[in-house]
Amino acid sequence: MAKPIYGEPMIISELIKSAAKKLQDVGIDTARLDAMLLLETALGKNRSYLVANSEAAVSENAQKQFAILLKRRINREPISQIIGKKEFYGRQFKVSKDVLTPRPETEFIIEVALKLFNKNSEINILDLGTGSGCIILTLLAEMPNAKGVGVDKSKSALAIAAKNAYDLKIENVEFVHSDWCKNLESQQKFHLIVSNPPYIPKTEQKTLDAELDFEPETALFGGDDGLDCYRLIAKEISGLKFDFAILEIGINQEGEVKKIFEQYQIKHKETLADLAGIPRVIVFNK
């Protein structure tokens, strides 16, 4: 008979093993890592504690808590939403169902920005569709003399971004509730505009990983061809003063995105591929 996950004292290593098996059985590739993250959360301890105490018995209460978290993951809720955080460019960001979980490919925007501007630059940065604030807050942490504005049309996302600013002790940032640039002063000059807009084609919705069902639709989809937000952003930023714009793009979107921005006399500077060789970040200047 299979051992119950709680009801008898189990030790840390057994709990991880049995949970990882359950996660693997439902097709989760990161089963062991996820099992450890869930147990860390249930116990309120870190990875070193789990490793150093792998033979320690886990209390019934903690096992019950762990079983609840495990069930959520088995139902394919993203691990970041269950544990409430995600690392981005070496810093922890709070996440919830109201924001897109920061993705490793988005870190590439940071790399590209830090090549264009040095760390002491006193620049103004605008982040369109800030979500958790991961892009603008990371840039401001890396460039402490810069100032930033993060825009989102979701008030609940802005509340998370503000919490992240507080946790990271970033004060030179303002969050604005706006449909893209509509609530920004048109006279404001930005040296850098960054954006990771929603770019998944709506037509692909049924083919996506189950985890994406837990993320906000407004953070994911860019209309039938995925390009609607680029069309709106290009039009709106063409009315602003800026030097560079760095945007994340989806697979096979480079050519179309280039054309959209060039219609507004925004010049293509370069496109950079990510580690998988996919054109991922596109840079324009005005």
Is 63 or 196 the residue whose CB approaches ligand SAM more closely? 196
Minimum CB separation from ligand SAM for residue 219, in Å?
4
267-273/279-285 β-pairing: antiparallel
Of 16, 23, 62, 219, the one binding ligand SAM by CB under 6 A: 219
Residues 111-150 that bind ligand SAM (CB under 6 A): 129-132, 134-135
Minimum CB separation from ligand SAM for residue 207, in Å?
18
Q: Interface with ligand SAM includes 250 (CB under 6 A)?
A: no
Of 15, 151, 184, 247, the one binding ligand SAM by CB under 6 A: 151
End-to-end CA distance of the chain: 68
Residues 176-215 that bind ligand SAM (CB under 6 A): 179-180, 196-198
Q: Interface with ligand SAM includes 78 (CB under 6 A)?
A: no
Cα(70)–Cα(54) distance, integer angstroms: 19
Q: Interface with ligand SAM includes 153 (CB under 6 A)?
A: yes
Residues that bind ligand SAM (CB under 6 A): 100, 102, 106, 129-132, 134-135, 151-154, 157, 179-180, 196-198, 218-219
